[in-house]
Amino acid sequence: MPETRGTVYAFNRFIEELGGSLGPVVLGLIFESLNQNFSVAITIAMFFFIPGTLCWCLIIKTYEKDREHLKKVINSRNKFEKR
């Protein structure tokens, strides 16, 4: 909903910044624990992308339905305000 857009955007930015700052640390720890075997460290780090990809797949499945619902809500609010 439009009234929660700021909260959602702030949460999204927080998660992105958290990932951007912790990602190199986690990869560095993996890299060091594997005796600096870079290819294995990158392969292990790639598994962190799997949950995000699964979430996007779920979002894609419900996107159209959510979009139509949002349109209905906004249109009903708009009709109410015109009275």
Instruction: Give, for all 83 residues of the chain, the pLDDT tens digit.
Output: 667 778 888 998 999 999 889 988 888 888 888 888 888 878 887 887 888 889 889 989 998 998 999 899 888 888 766 65
Average pLDDT over the chain, rounded to whole? 85
Domain boundaries, the chain: 1-47, 49-83
Listed residue (5, 15, 11) closest to 70, CA to CA: 5
